[in-house]
Amino acid sequence: MKFPDEYFPVKEENKQDFLDKVSNGKILSKDLSVLFCAACKDVANVVEKSISFCHDVGQHFTDYKIFMYENNSTDNTVEVIKALGDSKVILQSEFIDTASYSRSSVTDERRCSLIANARNKYVDYINTTNSYDYIFIFDTDIEGGWSLNGIFNSIHYLEKNNNMGCMTSYCVLASERGGDLEDFHPADWLMFDSFAFRQLNKDWDFPKYSLALHNYIKVENGTLPIKVNSNFNGLGIYKTECFVDNHYSINNYGLDLHTDSEHIPFHKRVWDKGLEVLINPSLLTSISNHKYSR
């Protein structure tokens, strides 16, 4: 599926350098293997689209597989995945008696803990196989897809910089009220993933201010990756070593509404390994639909 890169123009003075990095990343990708990983639940309406994103990207690498962990779906998520008969997909599915939670309670301690445990299923698989150059962690509800240019741009940086551990994306949301990207002016689009974002050299703990402030963070396509304490935004490209002796967990500060995203402690341990966590302004994703994804 095509991503609307034209909605995120690169300034003329940055364009050639950006295109050179994209081209180099595409060349480097041909010799690299990747594993796509996701934890999913109740995504029957979008999971086939998500798997197609993986195929669109994976074909540019020497080898790839897609690992999906599912538990407790109340729709036909499992049936949809199995019906694809996709030899690239590794599906691990189970029912856990105590794994129910409300999707709307984003910062709820129970929800965060269960999601962390689900993500640790693919961490276990990664450390068992240990045979891929890069791990792509993705959320299955990013309906608008991923920028292929941003992926190649990220591979360029990761391959050229040993100190960089992972590139995370910038995911756009058309509006808190929903709608497609075309329904709103680009200046009004929001950054989606406020919960997993922590600015570099700021407090790692749950912010004392509103998480909603993160939604108004703006980045510029074609500019340098930015070091952050933590970020996710629906897609992260990780060197495999980020997962060695690491796992997802949560921090709770005594109140249900003060529970950290599972990405926060994980990225803290990535930093402890001496590896940097970055948000790449060119690694664009969209949780909102657009003219190419409807």
pTM of the model: 0.95
Give residue 259's pLDDT. Answer: 86
Q: What is the pLDDT of residue 227?
A: 98
Instruction: Give the per-residue pLDDT at 211.
Output: 82
Q: Are 34 and 136 in contact (CB under 8 A)?
A: yes
Instruction: Indicate the fold that domain 31-286 takes in CATH.
Output: Spore Coat Polysaccharide Biosynthesis Protein SpsA; Chain A (3.90.550)
Q: Report the first-to-last Cα separation within the chain, whole angstroms.
A: 10
The stretches of 130-165 forming alpha helices (DSSP H) are: 148-160
> Tokens representing 265?
């402690």
Decide: 154 and 278 in contact? Cβ < 8 Å.
no
Amino acid 160: pLDDT: 98
Q: What is the pLDDT of residue 163?
A: 98
pLDDT of residue 110: 82
Task: Name which of 64, 48, 67 is nearest 121 in CA terms.
Answer: 67
Q: Where are the domains of the chain?
A: 31-286
Nearest residue to 251 via CA among 265, 272, 233, 266: 265
pLDDT at 207: 76
Residue 215 has what pLDDT? 94
- What residues in the chain have per-residue pLDDT under 50? none
Q: Take residue 250 and report the two structure tokens written for it.
A: 């949560």
Opening angle at CA 57, ends 27 and 137, nearest 5: 110
Confidence at residue 256, expressed as pLDDT on a 0 to 100 scale: 54
